[in-house]
Amino acid sequence: MSETQTLRQWLLTETPTSRRHAKISAFYKGWLTLRSNTMAMIGLGILVAMLFVAAAAPLLAPYDPFVQDLGNRLAPLGVEGHVFGTDSLGRDILSRLIYGTRITLYIVALVALIAPIVGLLVGTVSGYVGGWTDAILMRITDIFLAFPRLVLALAFVAALGAGIENAVLAISLTAWPPYARISRAETLTIRSSDYISAIKLQGAGALRIITKHIWPLCISSLIVRVTLDMAGIILAAAGLGFLGLGAQPPSPEWGAMISEGRRFILDHWWVATVPGLAIFTVSLAFNLLGDGLRDVLDPKAGE
């Protein structure tokens, strides 16, 4: 870097001097694209705030989320000391929400790691290899798709045992087929393109073509799809919790909090509404960010 050149110029150069420089520069340009998208930044902001809240939960929460106060049950919003009121056992809803971010993030992170990766693997192999492999993998996918998601997850949890980890695993196992379908469809269009033919002519094997040439093109649509599915995933975990197969009481999982508040929804609406709003906010944040990420990940956009 010459002395007259600022860091910004170095990052935005049209003619990078090394492979590392090119990578950093591309990353910075991607960040600029994301930053110029206000909605995506709002989404990112919410998620960063949520990460912070989850990390600092013991410092931020005014009360212990498990301490009951039966004399002060179902206190309304804004009552002294309880901003969001209390639930049916007199526990502070704000504190439970704050601790609940940890569980929500945990669910989201695990499902987002397992389901799309399994789906990507199955879909691209199926689409690229074709023939019998394709037929077998896609029929397995069909079987998974044919079951209602929650029912299948129920069966898995029943087999694995109740608990949040097993619920996440069960949701992941039922969530991968749509990802497999998407990546297979993309692979089918990509595999016959000239640039795949061109790399075949360099003697590249199937493994290299799938991982280095097909995956990068499938990933952006998968990311968008994953962010759109996040709300459904959180709610599926909540549904399992409601049936007694997911998060176990007194765990402050948001979905479980909603199903608990359902009993009082007519007279004490906030007990179910506040965690519902939290789920809504997080889902919205994921959707906004996903939309922005797609713009960044697609190099042809923004030209």
Partner 1 sequence: MSMLEVDGLNVWFGKHQQRVDAVKNATFAVARGESFGLVGESGSGKSTILRAITGLAPDWSGTLSIEGQTISKRRPKSFYKQVQMVFQDPYASLHPRHSVDQVLGETLHLHGFQDIDNRVVKLLDDVGLGQKFRFRYPHQLSGGQRQRVAIARALAPEPELLLLDEPTSALDVSVQAEILNLLTDLRAARGLTYLMVSHDLSVVGHMCDRLAVMKSGEIVEIMSVAALRKMDARHPYTQQLFEASL
Q: Which residues contact partner 1 (rule: CB under 8 A)?
A: 14-16, 19, 21-22, 25, 193-195, 197-204, 212-213, 216-217, 299-300, 303
| Alpha-carbon span 251 to 140, nearest angstrom | 35
Helix 38-55 to helix 19-36 angle, to the nearest 10 degrees?
A: 100
| Cβ proximity to partner 1, 89 vs 199, nearer residue | 199
Q: What phi and psi values does residue 160 have, to the nearest 5 degrees?
A: -90, -25
| Cβ proximity to partner 1, 2 vs 15, nearer residue | 15
Q: Partners of 92 in the beta sheet?
A: 86
Rg value, the chain, Cα:
23
Min dist CB 126 to partner 1, Å, is 20
Classify residue 180 as exposed, middle or buried by CB count within 10 Å of its CB (0-12, 13-18, 19+). Answer: buried
Instruction: Identify which of 119, 114, 111 has the alpha carbon closest to the alpha carbon of residue 168.
Output: 111
Min dist CB 119 to partner 1, Å, is 20
| Cβ proximity to partner 1, 51 vs 198, nearer residue | 198
Residue 238 and residue 253 in contact, taking contact as beta carbons nearer than 8 Å: yes
| Cβ proximity to partner 1, 100 vs 127, nearer residue | 127
Min dist CB 212 to partner 1, Å, is 7
Min dist CB 287 to partner 1, Å, is 24
Min dist CB 217 to partner 1, Å, is 6
Min dist CB 209 to partner 1, Å, is 10
| Cβ proximity to partner 1, 138 vs 217, nearer residue | 217
| Cβ proximity to partner 1, 41 vs 199, nearer residue | 199
Contact residues for 22 (Cβ-Cβ < 8 A; gap 6+): 16
Classify residue 91 as exposed, middle or buried by CB count within 10 Å of its CB (0-12, 13-18, 19+). Answer: buried
